[in-house]
Amino acid sequence: MGLQSFPQDFRAAVWGASGGIGAAFVKHLSEDPACGEIVALSRRPLEGDARSITYDPASESSIQKAAEEAAAGQPLHLVIVATGTLHGEGYSPEKALRQLTGDAFLEVMRINALLPALIAKASVNHLDKERSVFAALSARVGSISDNRLGGWHSYRASKAALNMLLRNIAIEVARKNRNAVIAGIHPGTVDTSLSEPFQGNVPEGKLFTPEYSTGEMLKVLDSLQPEQSGNCFDYSGKRIEF
């Protein structure tokens, strides 16, 4: 069964469509008979049924141009930002404060918080006025009230910042588009290259395939109402406290 809350032939855009989670979102949407068009945005061209658009995530003008090309003068009903980083060249989650470096912190913050905010800046004016959802991948470890273990300073801080940005964006968007939903969505621990180095401590049954996680997240996004805008939810639909 496909998404039920969006109109027939709804239009969807997935940013970060070349990643494990992004590609799975595109696959699910391509199999939904109600989805009229899927736009897959990534750093490199993609093959498949979706309309592929490339953009430079380090360039605000490139993001703006890509968003306008994705909308193509028509409203978008579902925009998903599936970008993010946890580790990369020269950085990984810090286990202690002594491991924190300025360069790594700024890079993680740029990718996990600033990039989704710039995508939102370029996209929210294209959201449909009757029913639309803008969602960005967040994480439970971005919750300040739920933090009992510490560590992972850059990643935690970037997701907490993302949650605040999404709340701000939701408040602003509601003034002009009261039917839009802006939300963070937590995918759980998904078997992708992002989580691969850290899968050893995942409880049995809690390491999800991209197909399963994105399918559950789409169910949650399908169910969200405007009064829930500005919040963060996990893959089961449970609200995550800030």
Instruction: Tell me whether residue 236 is in a domain.
Output: no
Please report the pLDDT score of residue 4 as a whole number.
97
Instruction: Tell me whether residue 224 is in a domain.
Output: no
Q: What is the pLDDT of residues 220-235, one digit of tens each?
A: 999 999 999 999 999 9
What domain range is 54 assigned to? 10-208
Residue 237 has pLDDT above 70, yes or no: yes
Residue 187 has pLDDT above 90, yes or no: yes
Binning pLDDT at 50, 70 and 90, where does residue 196 land? Answer: low
Please report the pLDDT score of residue 199 as a whole number.
66
Instruction: Tell me whether residue 153 is in a domain.
Output: yes
Number of domains in the chain: 1
Burial class (CB in 10 A: 0-12, 13-18, 19+), 25: buried
Instruction: Tell me whether residue 162 is in a domain.
Output: yes
Instruction: Tell me whether residue 218 is in a domain.
Output: no
pLDDT above 70 as % of the chain: 97
Binning pLDDT at 50, 70 and 90, where does residue 160 land? Answer: very high
Q: What is the pLDDT of residues 57-99, one digit of tens each?
A: 999 999 999 999 999 999 999 999 999 999 999 899 999 999 9
203: domain CATH number? 3.40.50.720
Residue 131 has pLDDT above 70, yes or no: yes
Instruction: Tell me whether residue 227 is in a domain.
Output: no
Instruction: Tell me whether residue 182 is in a domain.
Output: yes
Mean pLDDT of the chain: 95
Transcribe the chain into DSSP letters: ---SSSPTTEEEEEETTTSHHHHHHHHHHHT-TTEEEEEEEESS---SSSEEEE--TT-HHHHHHHHHHHHTTS-BSEEEE----S-BTTB---SSGGG--HHHHHHHHIIIIIHHHHHHHHHGGGB-SSSEEEEEE--GGG-STT--S---HHHHHHHHHHHHHHHHHHHHHHTT-TTEEEEEEE--EESSTTTGGGGGGPPTT-EE-HHHHHHHHHHHHHH--GGGTT-EEETTSPEEP-
Instruction: Tell me whether residue 133 is in a domain.
Output: yes
Binning pLDDT at 50, 70 and 90, where does residue 191 land? Answer: confident
Average of per-residue pLDDT across 182-208: 82
Please report the pLDDT score of residue 242 as a whole number.
93
Q: What is the pLDDT of residues 27-67, one digit of tens each?
A: 999 999 999 999 999 999 999 999 999 999 999 999 999 99
| Residue 125 CB contacts under 8 Å (≥ 6 apart), including other chains | none
How do 232-234 and 207-208 pair as beta strands?
A: unpaired
Residue 200 has pLDDT above 70, yes or no: no
Residue 203 has pLDDT above 90, yes or no: no
